[in-house]
Chains A and B, each alone.
Chain A
Amino acid sequence: MSSARAARWSRAYGASGWHLALMLASLAVVTYVVLTVGLAALWDPDVWWQSIAVWFVGAVVLHDLVLFPAYALVDRLLRLRLGPSAGRRATPRVPLLNYVRVPTLVAGLTFLLFFPAILSRGGSTYANATGLTQEPFLQRWLLLVLAAYLLSALLYVVARLRHRT
């Protein structure tokens, strides 16, 4: 292809011919995957929300439009209250912000990964598989979160004291 034709192509399509080939190949493979799974397995007409297709798209929607806005909002509130520009002093000696952020993230991350255990969602399936109950997990998680906040508070006090000397 001459460079003039290449430039015209790129203006029309928006990227190189190689880009188009890669995109079409990806689409072709995924179309094949979808056809192999079959619509019957992707879509449950009786309980629509227990469909693979719904969960696939739902995972993105939940992350992008629920989880991200939620943690961004919490962080914004924390920054407004505790950030470097908050309060009367322009530069607080030791900003409290990250000492709250980190244990909050510990709580959030562990909840996100282990909420089925923490909320005892396994029920009889869990009991059948393990011969145990999920009853201990809520208390363990609460203690873990408490430990994270206490440790962070301790480190904050140490940082304040070191800053003073």
Chain B
Amino acid sequence: MAESTTYAFPARLWAGIARRRPPGIDRIVWRSPLRGPWLTSAFGAVLLATIPIVIVTGLLSYVAYGDQARPTDVGWLRLPMFDWPTNPSWLFRLTQGLHVGLGLVLVPVVLAKLWSVVPRLFVWPPARSIAQVLERITLLMLVGGLLFEIVTGVLNIQYDYVFGFSFYTAHYYGAWVFIVGFVSHVALKLPTMVRSLRSRSFAQELRTRRTDTVPEPADPDGLVAADPSAPTMSRRGLLALVGGGSLLTFALTAGQTIGGPTRQLALLLPRGLDTGDGPNDFPVNKTAEAAGIRPGATESGWRLALEGAGASVTLDRAQLAAMPQHTAVLPIACVEGWSTTQTWTGVRIRDLADRVGLADPSGALVQSLQEEGAFKEAVLNEGQVRHPDALLALQVNGVDLSLDHGFPARIIVPAMPGVLNTKWVKSIRFEEA
């Protein structure tokens, strides 16, 4: 091994661990002629440029949930909450589409980055100083946090709740552990990354064929194999392979949020399935049956209860339909990263507030006929209540809502996370400033 044999304090401890080599560790031989600081830094640079986008859009999702943000009681980890805007209407579609889509697209890069540094995992002794022990702990935060976020995210968007614990709690706190590991890793390794990237010419690598590919010069971290085999792939070939993996993932996921004909390409994702061509044939989130909506509750006996400033009004569906109707083309975007844009028609929420004497409502609590579950009710902020396109929709694409899309009436508000657009609305209580 080319590594130095000096130990920091307490030297006897490190030397003692070094002597106790685990059986089999000497039989591990690293053969790839491509591993080296330049290659690792190339993957690192891609992740450094993109992962902050995944982090920020993820945290924005927490803000977008407003009063419904989970987990609560997060202490100092509480984000600076602000009223989630309603303009542009595709805001949540964009942020959440990026969070989920980019998160998936980066999986091949993450795997390649881990492959490129895996010899470090099997170095013996694992540490020669207290500094290295501490650094290994922060690496556990980094790698553990990243893999944990990927695994829980991938399972969640496909409804595989094998993990048993709360996704929101796990994904939120897991993100913080990852962020700490990420920041400290970047702070420690940024100079190494810059130096390594400058050690070779990127343009030159793109011109180098497999047969001309030679290993990088030996490095102090031992990423470069001591006795590499002949290359089976050029460095540019490996970069193309990883980039191709990301491109394939993009092709298989982007359609779930871009929609239109590209939806067919998302052929392995829940919202890539063909739902038909009818006006109500777009993806559903939670069926009426699953929400426990009793068949009779949505028929002629259904009433909408409005409350505010001491006044209360009850309307049936015919009375709602007799009020001024407004039509808006709005996306409904889910936290799982898919979205669908439809033409909604119904009564402006602010017109409903007017009916109970609140011309300038500051918020509202919307309740559903759904009796169980985290999203049987939702709190809307001032902007969401007052926006001219914020509707209690009765129709979609020119016909009555289907039962699964929220008949007799559902909320649709620009840029609001999909699940907060309450279906099967039973009552709205308006707040005054």
Interface residues of B in 220-261 (CB under 8 A from A): 229-230, 232-233, 237, 241, 244-245, 248-249, 252
Cα separation A115 to B158 with both chains bound (whole Å): 9
Cα separation A141 to B404 with both chains bound (whole Å): 28
Chain A residues with CB under 8 A of B181 = 26, 30
Select which of A22, A55, A68 is within 8 A of B151 by beta carbon.
Answer: A55
Cα separation A32 to B145 with both chains bound (whole Å): 15
Which has the most chain B C-beta neighbours within 10 Å: A109, A130, A141, A144?
Answer: A130
Q: Is the CB of B404 within 8 A of A114?
A: no
Q: Is there a chain A Cβ closer than 8 Å to B81's Cβ?
A: no
Q: Is the CB of A121 within 8 A of B160?
A: yes
Q: Do A79 and B232 contact each other (CB < 8 Å), given the known contacts A30-B177, A55-B151, A110-B268?
A: yes
Count of A residues near B, CB < 8 Å?
68
Q: Is the CB of B160 within 8 A of A56?
A: no
Interchain pairs with CB closer than 8 A, number? 205
Q: Is there a chain B Cβ closer than 8 Å to A112's Cβ?
A: yes
Chain A residues with CB under 8 A of B121 = 64
Interface residues of A in 74-105 (CB under 8 A from B): 79, 83-85, 95, 97-98, 102, 105
Q: Is there a chain B Cβ closer than 8 Å to A36's Cβ?
A: yes
Q: Is there a chain A Cβ closer than 8 Å to B60's Cβ?
A: no
Q: Is there a chain B Cβ closer than 8 Å to A41's Cβ?
A: yes
Q: Is there a chain A Cβ closer than 8 Å to B104's Cβ?
A: yes
Select which of B148, B161, B165 is within 8 A of A51 by beta carbon.
Answer: B165
Chain A residues with CB under 8 A of B232 = 79, 83-84, 95, 97-98
Cα separation A128 to B148 with both chains bound (whole Å): 26
Chain B residues with CB under 8 A of A24 = 134
Cα separation A60 to B136 with both chains bound (whole Å): 13
Which has the most chain A C-beta neighbours within 10 Å: B135, B245, B268?
Answer: B268
Other than the given A55-B163, A98-B232, 9 more pairs (CB < 8 A) read: A33-B77, A59-B144, A63-B143, A84-B232, A113-B268, A125-B159, A128-B286, A129-B285, A137-B268
Please, could you name 29 A-B residue pairs with CB atoms under 8 Å apart, sorted by A? Answer: A12-B8, A13-B9, A13-B130, A14-B8, A14-B129, A22-B187, A23-B134, A23-B138, A26-B141, A26-B184, A30-B180, A50-B164, A55-B170, A60-B144, A84-B230, A102-B244, A109-B249, A113-B268, A116-B159, A117-B158, A118-B268, A122-B160, A122-B270, A129-B270, A129-B284, A130-B287, A134-B270, A136-B273, A144-B267
